[in-house]
Chains A and B, each alone.
Chain A
Amino acid sequence: MIRNRISLVCILTLLVQQMAFAQQASGDFMRSIGRIYVVVAVILIIFFGIVLFLIYLDRKLTKLENQIKENE
Protein backbone atom coordinates (compact mmCIF):
# COMPACT_ATOMS: atom_id res chain seq x y z
CA MET A 1 0.00 0.00 0.00
CA ILE A 2 2.77 2.43 0.94
CA ARG A 3 4.69 1.56 -2.19
CA ASN A 4 1.56 2.29 -4.21
CA ARG A 5 1.18 5.65 -2.58
CA ILE A 6 4.84 6.56 -3.18
CA SER A 7 4.58 5.66 -6.86
CA LEU A 8 1.37 7.69 -7.17
CA VAL A 9 3.10 10.71 -5.64
CA CYS A 10 6.06 10.20 -7.99
CA ILE A 11 3.80 10.06 -11.03
CA LEU A 12 1.89 13.16 -9.95
CA THR A 13 5.11 15.12 -9.30
CA LEU A 14 6.45 14.09 -12.70
CA LEU A 15 3.18 15.14 -14.33
CA VAL A 16 3.20 18.55 -12.67
CA GLN A 17 6.87 19.04 -13.60
CA GLN A 18 6.10 18.08 -17.17
CA MET A 19 3.24 20.54 -17.33
CA ALA A 20 5.38 23.32 -15.84
CA PHE A 21 8.14 22.50 -18.30
CA ALA A 22 5.73 22.51 -21.24
CA GLN A 23 4.48 25.93 -20.18
CA GLN A 24 7.99 27.32 -19.93
CA ALA A 25 9.19 25.73 -23.15
CA SER A 26 6.33 27.19 -25.16
CA GLY A 27 3.64 29.26 -23.57
CA ASP A 28 2.05 29.13 -26.98
CA PHE A 29 1.56 25.37 -26.94
CA MET A 30 -1.87 25.62 -25.35
CA ARG A 31 -2.79 28.36 -27.81
CA SER A 32 -1.63 26.48 -30.93
CA ILE A 33 -4.03 24.88 -33.44
CA GLY A 34 -6.95 27.03 -32.39
CA ARG A 35 -6.39 26.31 -28.66
CA ILE A 36 -7.53 22.69 -29.09
CA TYR A 37 -5.21 21.57 -26.26
CA VAL A 38 -7.40 23.48 -23.82
CA VAL A 39 -10.19 21.04 -24.74
CA VAL A 40 -7.74 18.14 -24.38
CA ALA A 41 -6.73 19.41 -20.93
CA VAL A 42 -10.38 19.69 -19.86
CA ILE A 43 -11.14 16.14 -21.00
CA LEU A 44 -8.01 14.81 -19.25
CA ILE A 45 -8.99 16.52 -16.00
CA ILE A 46 -12.44 14.91 -16.12
CA PHE A 47 -10.85 11.55 -16.91
CA PHE A 48 -8.39 11.77 -14.01
CA GLY A 49 -11.16 12.93 -11.69
CA ILE A 50 -13.22 9.87 -12.51
CA VAL A 51 -10.14 7.61 -12.20
CA LEU A 52 -9.39 9.04 -8.75
CA PHE A 53 -12.93 8.23 -7.68
CA LEU A 54 -12.47 4.74 -9.10
CA ILE A 55 -9.35 4.32 -6.95
CA TYR A 56 -11.35 5.47 -3.90
CA LEU A 57 -14.07 2.90 -4.61
CA ASP A 58 -11.46 0.24 -5.29
CA ARG A 59 -9.85 0.74 -1.89
CA LYS A 60 -13.23 0.65 -0.20
CA LEU A 61 -14.01 -2.65 -1.92
CA THR A 62 -10.62 -4.09 -0.96
CA LYS A 63 -11.41 -3.35 2.68
CA LEU A 64 -14.77 -5.10 2.34
CA GLU A 65 -13.15 -8.12 0.71
CA ASN A 66 -10.62 -8.38 3.51
CA GLN A 67 -13.42 -8.14 6.06
CA ILE A 68 -15.32 -10.95 4.37
CA LYS A 69 -12.14 -13.06 4.42
CA GLU A 70 -11.71 -12.38 8.13
CA ASN A 71 -15.32 -13.33 8.86
CA GLU A 72 -14.80 -16.65 7.14
Chain B
Amino acid sequence: MIRQSWWKILAVVLLVYTFTAGMLVPLKPGIADVSPRALQAGTDVEMTITGYNSYYTKAKSDLRAWLKLKGDVVLKATSIEVVDDRTLKLVFKLPAYLPSDSKDDVCSLILDSPVDGAIVLPEGIALTQDSVNLAEGSKLWSVDKMDQLNAGPELTFPYRSVLYETIRNQYFHVPLWFAMLFLFIFSVGFSIRYLRKFDPDADQRALALTRAGFIFGLLGLVTGAIWAKFAWGAYWSWDVKQNMTAVALLIYAAYFILRGAFQDEEKKARLAAVYNIFAFAALIPLIFVIPRLTDSLHPGNGGNPAFGSDDLDNTMRMVFYPAGIGWTLLGFWIAAVSYRIDKLQNKLLDA
Protein backbone atom coordinates (compact mmCIF):
# COMPACT_ATOMS: atom_id res chain seq x y z
CA MET B 1 0.00 0.00 0.00
CA ILE B 2 2.11 2.89 1.14
CA ARG B 3 5.75 2.09 0.69
CA GLN B 4 7.07 4.38 3.36
CA SER B 5 6.66 2.83 6.75
CA TRP B 6 6.33 5.86 9.02
CA TRP B 7 2.82 4.80 9.98
CA LYS B 8 4.04 1.38 11.03
CA ILE B 9 6.51 3.05 13.36
CA LEU B 10 3.68 5.24 14.62
CA ALA B 11 1.57 2.12 15.25
CA VAL B 12 4.35 0.57 17.33
CA VAL B 13 4.97 3.79 19.28
CA LEU B 14 1.27 4.27 20.03
CA LEU B 15 0.80 0.65 21.07
CA VAL B 16 3.87 0.71 23.32
CA TYR B 17 2.37 3.84 24.92
CA THR B 18 -1.00 2.11 25.20
CA PHE B 19 0.44 -0.94 26.95
CA THR B 20 2.69 1.11 29.26
CA ALA B 21 0.23 3.78 30.32
CA GLY B 22 -2.78 1.49 30.07
CA MET B 23 -1.30 -1.04 32.46
CA LEU B 24 0.80 1.14 34.78
CA VAL B 25 -1.49 4.05 35.68
CA PRO B 26 -3.20 2.98 38.92
CA LEU B 27 -6.90 3.00 39.63
CA LYS B 28 -8.24 5.82 41.77
CA PRO B 29 -8.47 4.77 45.43
CA GLY B 30 -11.90 3.40 46.22
CA ILE B 31 -14.00 1.69 48.86
CA ALA B 32 -14.18 -2.03 48.11
CA ASP B 33 -16.39 -3.03 51.03
CA VAL B 34 -18.23 -1.66 54.07
CA SER B 35 -19.73 -3.66 56.90
CA PRO B 36 -22.28 -3.48 58.39
CA ARG B 37 -24.46 -2.07 55.62
CA ALA B 38 -27.60 -1.70 57.74
CA LEU B 39 -27.59 0.77 60.63
CA GLN B 40 -30.11 1.41 63.40
CA ALA B 41 -30.79 4.97 64.60
CA GLY B 42 -29.92 5.67 68.25
CA THR B 43 -27.01 3.22 68.38
CA ASP B 44 -23.26 3.49 68.21
CA VAL B 45 -21.92 1.55 65.25
CA GLU B 46 -18.44 0.47 64.37
CA MET B 47 -18.01 0.20 60.62
CA THR B 48 -15.18 -1.63 58.94
CA ILE B 49 -14.05 -0.11 55.67
CA THR B 50 -12.00 -2.07 53.17
CA GLY B 51 -10.19 0.21 50.77
CA TYR B 52 -8.81 -0.39 47.29
CA ASN B 53 -5.49 1.20 46.27
CA SER B 54 -5.77 3.25 49.45
CA TYR B 55 -2.98 4.51 51.73
CA TYR B 56 -4.69 5.00 55.08
CA THR B 57 -1.50 4.80 57.17
CA LYS B 58 -0.03 7.74 55.25
CA ALA B 59 -3.06 9.92 55.98
CA LYS B 60 -3.63 8.79 59.61
CA SER B 61 -5.18 11.60 61.68
CA ASP B 62 -6.15 13.65 58.64
CA LEU B 63 -8.80 11.10 57.67
CA ARG B 64 -12.43 12.16 57.96
CA ALA B 65 -15.64 10.29 57.20
CA TRP B 66 -19.33 11.16 56.91
CA LEU B 67 -22.62 9.44 56.39
CA LYS B 68 -24.56 11.53 53.91
CA LEU B 69 -28.32 11.62 53.43
CA LYS B 70 -30.25 13.41 50.69
CA GLY B 71 -29.93 17.19 50.71
CA ASP B 72 -26.38 17.39 52.04
CA VAL B 73 -27.34 16.26 55.55
CA VAL B 74 -24.28 14.65 57.09
CA LEU B 75 -23.10 12.87 60.22
CA LYS B 76 -19.39 12.85 60.95
CA ALA B 77 -17.58 9.79 62.26
CA THR B 78 -16.58 10.36 65.87
CA SER B 79 -13.45 8.24 65.67
CA ILE B 80 -11.36 6.67 62.94
CA GLU B 81 -8.92 3.90 63.65
CA VAL B 82 -6.39 3.02 60.98
CA VAL B 83 -5.76 -0.72 61.04
CA ASP B 84 -3.63 -0.83 57.91
CA ASP B 85 -3.45 0.75 54.46
CA ARG B 86 -6.56 -1.12 53.34
CA THR B 87 -8.61 -1.29 56.55
CA LEU B 88 -10.32 1.37 58.65
CA LYS B 89 -12.62 1.18 61.65
CA LEU B 90 -15.10 4.07 61.90
CA VAL B 91 -17.41 4.83 64.80
CA PHE B 92 -20.68 6.66 64.19
CA LYS B 93 -22.92 7.80 67.06
CA LEU B 94 -26.29 7.71 65.30
CA PRO B 95 -28.91 10.10 66.76
CA ALA B 96 -32.24 8.65 67.89
CA TYR B 97 -34.12 10.08 64.90
CA LEU B 98 -33.36 10.41 61.21
CA PRO B 99 -34.06 13.60 59.24
CA SER B 100 -36.53 11.60 57.22
CA ASP B 101 -40.30 11.13 57.14
CA SER B 102 -40.14 7.36 56.80
CA LYS B 103 -38.72 4.59 58.92
CA ASP B 104 -36.17 3.57 56.30
CA ASP B 105 -33.65 5.61 54.40
CA VAL B 106 -30.43 5.10 52.52
CA CYS B 107 -27.24 7.07 52.89
CA SER B 108 -23.89 7.22 51.21
CA LEU B 109 -20.51 7.13 52.85
CA ILE B 110 -17.86 9.74 52.16
CA LEU B 111 -14.28 9.23 53.16
CA ASP B 112 -11.80 12.07 52.82
CA SER B 113 -8.05 11.70 52.89
CA PRO B 114 -5.33 14.15 51.86
CA VAL B 115 -3.50 11.23 50.21
CA ASP B 116 -6.33 9.39 48.41
CA GLY B 117 -8.76 12.30 47.99
CA ALA B 118 -12.47 12.17 48.74
CA ILE B 119 -14.12 8.82 48.03
CA VAL B 120 -17.87 8.35 47.84
CA LEU B 121 -19.65 5.04 48.34
CA PRO B 122 -22.99 5.97 46.82
CA GLU B 123 -26.29 4.88 48.37
CA GLY B 124 -24.73 1.78 49.87
CA ILE B 125 -25.93 1.90 53.45
CA ALA B 126 -29.46 1.35 54.82
CA LEU B 127 -30.72 3.30 57.84
CA THR B 128 -33.72 2.39 59.97
CA GLN B 129 -35.46 4.10 62.88
CA ASP B 130 -38.19 2.86 65.20
CA SER B 131 -40.32 6.00 65.13
CA VAL B 132 -40.44 9.03 62.85
CA ASN B 133 -39.68 12.52 64.13
CA LEU B 134 -38.65 14.73 61.23
CA ALA B 135 -38.13 17.96 63.19
CA GLU B 136 -35.99 16.39 65.89
CA GLY B 137 -34.12 14.30 63.35
CA SER B 138 -33.28 17.31 61.19
CA LYS B 139 -31.97 19.15 64.25
CA LEU B 140 -29.82 16.22 65.39
CA TRP B 141 -28.33 15.75 61.93
CA SER B 142 -27.61 19.46 61.31
CA VAL B 143 -24.67 19.63 63.72
CA ASP B 144 -21.98 18.36 61.38
CA LYS B 145 -20.85 19.98 58.17
CA MET B 146 -18.87 18.50 55.30
CA ASP B 147 -16.10 20.85 54.22
CA GLN B 148 -12.86 21.12 52.32
CA LEU B 149 -12.75 17.79 50.59
CA ASN B 150 -9.40 16.83 49.17
CA ALA B 151 -8.70 16.17 45.53
CA GLY B 152 -7.25 12.74 44.88
CA PRO B 153 -4.12 11.75 42.98
CA GLU B 154 -4.16 13.25 39.48
CA LEU B 155 -3.05 10.43 37.23
CA THR B 156 -5.55 7.63 37.86
CA PHE B 157 -8.23 5.67 36.05
CA PRO B 158 -11.74 5.69 37.55
CA TYR B 159 -12.55 3.15 40.24
CA ARG B 160 -15.76 1.31 39.44
CA SER B 161 -17.12 -1.58 41.43
CA VAL B 162 -17.71 -4.70 39.28
CA LEU B 163 -15.24 -3.37 36.67
CA TYR B 164 -12.22 -2.67 38.89
CA GLU B 165 -9.00 -3.18 36.87
CA THR B 166 -10.92 -4.48 33.86
CA ILE B 167 -11.65 -0.84 33.00
CA ARG B 168 -8.25 -1.12 31.25
CA ASN B 169 -9.90 -3.35 28.65
CA GLN B 170 -11.13 -0.06 27.20
CA TYR B 171 -7.67 0.18 25.58
CA PHE B 172 -7.64 -3.38 24.24
CA HIS B 173 -11.17 -4.59 23.58
CA VAL B 174 -12.83 -1.38 22.37
CA PRO B 175 -10.13 -0.26 19.87
CA LEU B 176 -10.42 -3.64 18.14
CA TRP B 177 -13.86 -2.53 16.98
CA PHE B 178 -12.50 0.85 15.92
CA ALA B 179 -9.87 -0.91 13.85
CA MET B 180 -12.42 -3.31 12.38
CA LEU B 181 -14.69 -0.46 11.38
CA PHE B 182 -11.95 1.54 9.64
CA LEU B 183 -10.69 -1.58 7.85
CA PHE B 184 -14.20 -2.35 6.60
CA ILE B 185 -14.75 1.28 5.52
CA PHE B 186 -11.58 1.23 3.41
CA SER B 187 -12.45 -2.23 2.15
CA VAL B 188 -15.85 -1.09 0.90
CA GLY B 189 -14.13 1.92 -0.68
CA PHE B 190 -11.91 -0.40 -2.72
CA SER B 191 -14.88 -2.59 -3.62
CA ILE B 192 -16.65 0.48 -5.04
CA ARG B 193 -13.51 1.39 -6.94
CA TYR B 194 -13.37 -2.15 -8.35
CA LEU B 195 -16.94 -1.92 -9.60
CA ARG B 196 -16.21 1.42 -11.28
CA LYS B 197 -12.90 0.55 -12.93
CA PHE B 198 -12.73 -3.27 -12.82
CA ASP B 199 -9.20 -3.04 -11.52
CA PRO B 200 -8.29 -6.46 -10.02
CA ASP B 201 -5.80 -4.75 -7.73
CA ALA B 202 -8.63 -2.90 -5.95
CA ASP B 203 -10.35 -6.23 -5.36
CA GLN B 204 -7.17 -7.66 -3.84
CA ARG B 205 -6.90 -4.67 -1.51
CA ALA B 206 -10.54 -5.01 -0.48
CA LEU B 207 -9.97 -8.71 0.26
CA ALA B 208 -6.92 -8.06 2.45
CA LEU B 209 -8.68 -5.26 4.35
CA THR B 210 -11.79 -7.37 4.93
CA ARG B 211 -9.63 -10.26 6.12
CA ALA B 212 -7.81 -8.05 8.66
CA GLY B 213 -11.08 -6.45 9.74
CA PHE B 214 -12.65 -9.85 10.21
CA ILE B 215 -9.77 -10.99 12.43
CA PHE B 216 -10.15 -7.87 14.57
CA GLY B 217 -13.88 -8.44 14.79
CA LEU B 218 -13.41 -12.05 15.92
CA LEU B 219 -10.84 -10.97 18.50
CA GLY B 220 -13.23 -8.25 19.67
CA LEU B 221 -15.99 -10.81 20.10
CA VAL B 222 -13.81 -13.27 22.06
CA THR B 223 -12.20 -10.61 24.27
CA GLY B 224 -15.64 -9.14 24.87
CA ALA B 225 -16.94 -12.54 25.97
CA ILE B 226 -14.11 -12.92 28.49
CA TRP B 227 -14.72 -9.41 29.83
CA ALA B 228 -18.47 -10.10 29.98
CA LYS B 229 -17.89 -13.26 32.03
CA PHE B 230 -16.36 -11.21 34.83
CA ALA B 231 -18.41 -8.04 34.50
CA TRP B 232 -21.87 -9.33 33.53
CA GLY B 233 -21.58 -12.90 34.85
CA ALA B 234 -21.71 -14.89 31.61
CA TYR B 235 -19.61 -15.23 28.46
CA TRP B 236 -22.70 -14.67 26.35
CA SER B 237 -25.60 -12.74 27.89
CA TRP B 238 -27.58 -12.49 24.64
CA ASP B 239 -26.93 -8.78 24.87
CA VAL B 240 -28.22 -7.04 21.75
CA LYS B 241 -24.79 -5.71 20.78
CA GLN B 242 -23.17 -9.13 21.26
CA ASN B 243 -25.83 -10.72 19.09
CA MET B 244 -25.74 -8.09 16.37
CA THR B 245 -21.96 -8.11 16.06
CA ALA B 246 -22.06 -11.90 15.83
CA VAL B 247 -24.59 -11.59 13.01
CA ALA B 248 -22.47 -8.95 11.28
CA LEU B 249 -19.39 -11.17 11.50
CA LEU B 250 -21.33 -14.11 10.07
CA ILE B 251 -22.31 -11.91 7.13
CA TYR B 252 -18.64 -11.08 6.62
CA ALA B 253 -17.66 -14.76 7.02
CA ALA B 254 -19.95 -15.46 4.06
CA TYR B 255 -17.83 -13.00 2.02
CA PHE B 256 -14.86 -15.38 2.20
CA ILE B 257 -17.03 -18.41 1.49
CA LEU B 258 -18.50 -16.62 -1.52
CA ARG B 259 -15.03 -15.92 -2.88
CA GLY B 260 -14.11 -19.56 -2.53
CA ALA B 261 -17.16 -20.63 -4.51
CA PHE B 262 -16.03 -19.10 -7.82
CA GLN B 263 -13.31 -20.34 -10.14
CA ASP B 264 -13.47 -17.47 -12.59
CA GLU B 265 -11.39 -14.60 -11.21
CA GLU B 266 -13.44 -11.80 -12.72
CA LYS B 267 -16.78 -13.23 -11.64
CA LYS B 268 -15.35 -13.83 -8.16
CA ALA B 269 -14.09 -10.26 -7.86
CA ARG B 270 -17.28 -8.69 -9.14
CA LEU B 271 -19.62 -10.66 -6.89
CA ALA B 272 -17.32 -10.22 -3.89
CA ALA B 273 -17.33 -6.45 -4.43
CA VAL B 274 -21.11 -6.30 -4.62
CA TYR B 275 -21.46 -8.54 -1.59
CA ASN B 276 -18.95 -6.45 0.37
CA ILE B 277 -21.05 -3.34 -0.18
CA PHE B 278 -24.12 -5.25 0.99
CA ALA B 279 -22.28 -6.54 4.07
CA PHE B 280 -21.13 -3.04 5.00
CA ALA B 281 -24.65 -1.69 4.54
CA ALA B 282 -25.83 -4.35 6.99
CA LEU B 283 -22.96 -3.79 9.43
CA ILE B 284 -23.74 -0.16 10.24
CA PRO B 285 -27.36 -0.62 11.39
CA LEU B 286 -26.46 -3.89 13.13
CA ILE B 287 -23.72 -2.32 15.22
CA PHE B 288 -24.72 1.32 15.55
CA VAL B 289 -28.48 1.57 15.18
CA ILE B 290 -30.22 -1.53 16.59
CA PRO B 291 -28.26 -1.63 19.90
CA ARG B 292 -29.28 1.97 20.55
CA LEU B 293 -32.95 1.24 20.12
CA THR B 294 -33.18 -1.42 22.82
CA ASP B 295 -31.66 -2.04 26.22
CA SER B 296 -28.09 -3.20 26.19
CA LEU B 297 -25.49 -4.00 28.79
CA HIS B 298 -22.96 -2.11 26.71
CA PRO B 299 -22.42 1.53 27.66
CA GLY B 300 -23.60 3.95 25.03
CA ASN B 301 -26.65 1.89 24.14
CA GLY B 302 -30.26 1.77 25.23
CA GLY B 303 -30.33 5.47 25.96
CA ASN B 304 -27.06 5.78 27.89
CA PRO B 305 -24.79 8.45 26.49
CA ALA B 306 -21.81 6.85 24.79
CA PHE B 307 -18.54 7.30 26.63
CA GLY B 308 -20.08 9.42 29.38
CA SER B 309 -17.71 10.89 31.93
CA ASP B 310 -18.55 7.90 34.15
CA ASP B 311 -17.01 5.45 31.74
CA LEU B 312 -14.25 7.53 30.24
CA ASP B 313 -12.61 10.39 32.13
CA ASN B 314 -9.91 12.69 30.83
CA THR B 315 -7.05 10.47 31.99
CA MET B 316 -8.60 7.54 30.16
CA ARG B 317 -9.03 9.62 27.02
CA MET B 318 -5.27 10.27 27.07
CA VAL B 319 -4.75 6.53 26.56
CA PHE B 320 -7.96 5.56 24.76
CA TYR B 321 -7.57 7.75 21.66
CA PRO B 322 -3.91 6.85 21.01
CA ALA B 323 -4.91 3.20 21.59
CA GLY B 324 -7.65 3.51 18.97
CA ILE B 325 -5.23 4.97 16.41
CA GLY B 326 -2.50 2.46 17.31
CA TRP B 327 -4.68 -0.64 16.96
CA THR B 328 -6.21 0.71 13.74
CA LEU B 329 -2.77 1.29 12.23
CA LEU B 330 -1.75 -2.22 13.28
CA GLY B 331 -4.82 -3.52 11.48
CA PHE B 332 -3.80 -1.71 8.30
CA TRP B 333 -0.30 -3.09 8.67
CA ILE B 334 -1.65 -6.64 8.89
CA ALA B 335 -3.86 -5.96 5.86
CA ALA B 336 -0.90 -4.55 3.92
CA VAL B 337 1.30 -7.59 4.56
CA SER B 338 -1.47 -9.96 3.61
CA TYR B 339 -2.18 -7.95 0.44
CA ARG B 340 1.47 -8.03 -0.62
CA ILE B 341 1.63 -11.81 -0.18
CA ASP B 342 -1.56 -12.21 -2.24
CA LYS B 343 -0.06 -10.03 -4.96
CA LEU B 344 3.11 -12.12 -5.07
CA GLN B 345 1.01 -15.25 -5.30
CA ASN B 346 -0.97 -13.88 -8.23
CA LYS B 347 2.21 -12.86 -10.00
CA LEU B 348 3.64 -16.34 -9.60
CA LEU B 349 0.42 -17.96 -10.83
CA ASP B 350 0.37 -15.75 -13.92
CA ALA B 351 3.99 -16.48 -14.73
Contact A38 B219 (CB under 8 A): no
Contact B334 A31 (CB under 8 A): no
Q: Nearest Cβ distance between residue A52 and chain B, in whole angstroms?
A: 9
Say if the beta carbon of A67 comes within 8 Å of chain B. yes
Given A33-B165, A61-B341, A64-B348: A42 and B173 interface contact (C-beta under 8 Å) = yes
* Interface status of B215 (Cβ within 8 A of chain A): yes
Interface residues of chain B: helix, strand, loop or mixed (majority): helix
Interface residues in B22-53 by Cβ distance below 8 A to A read: 23, 27, 52
Which residues 2-32 in A have Cβ within 8 Å of B in the complex? Answer: 30-31
Known: A43-B172, A71-B351. A35 touches B222 (CB 8 A): no
Q: Once the chains bind, are A67 and B348 in contact (CB under 8 Å)?
A: yes
Q: How large is the interface on A (under 10, 10 to 19, 20 to 34, 35 or more residues)?
A: 20 to 34
Closest residue on chain A to residue B344 by CB atoms: A64
- By a CB distance below 8 angstroms, the chain B residues around A60 are 341, 345
Q: Which of A33, A46, A53, A61 has the most CB of B within 10 A?
A: A46
Chain B: CB-nearest residue to A30: B230
Q: Does B166 contact A (CB under 8 A)?
A: yes
* Interface status of A45 (Cβ within 8 A of chain B): yes
The smallest beta-carbon distance between B104 and chain A, in angstroms, is: 32
Answer whether residue A68 sits at the interface, using C-beta atoms and an 8 A cutoff: yes
Instruction: Mark contacts of B152-181 with chain A using CB atoms, 8 A cut-off: 1 yes-contact digit, 0 otherwise.
Output: 000000000001111011001100100000
Closest to A56 in B: B338
Q: Contacts A31-B230, A34-B52, A61-B341 hold; do A39 and B348 have CB atoms under 8 A apart?
A: no
Cα–Cα distance between A43 and B23 once the two chains are bound (Å): 11
Q: How far is the CB of A69 from chain B (nearest CB, A)?
A: 11
Residues 44-72 of A contacting B (Cβ, < 8 Å) = 45-46, 49-50, 53, 57, 60-61, 64, 67-68, 71
Residues of B within 8 Å of A36, CB to CB, are: 164-166, 168
- Is the beta-carbon distance between A39 and B169 smaller than 8 angstroms? yes
* Cα separation A60 to B208 with both chains bound (whole Å): 14
Query: In this complex, what residue of B is CB-closest to A41?
Result: B226
Cross-chain contact B345 with A39 (CB below 8 angstroms): no
Q: How far is the CB of A38 from chain B (nearest CB, A)?
A: 5
Given contacts A34-B165, A45-B222, A50-B334, 15 further A-B contacts (CB under 8 A): A30-B230, A34-B164, A35-B230, A36-B164, A38-B229, A39-B166, A39-B172, A41-B226, A42-B173, A45-B226, A46-B176, A49-B219, A50-B215, A57-B337, A71-B351
> Can you list 16 residue pairs at the A/B interface with Cβ under 8 Å?
A30-B229, A30-B230, A34-B164, A35-B164, A35-B165, A35-B230, A38-B226, A39-B168, A39-B169, A45-B226, A50-B215, A57-B338, A57-B341, A64-B345, A64-B348, A71-B351
Seen from chain B, the residues whose Cβ lies within 8 Å of a Cβ on chain A are: 19, 23, 27, 52, 163-166, 168-169, 172-173, 176, 215, 218-219, 222-223, 226-227, 229-231, 334, 337-338, 341, 344-345, 348, 351
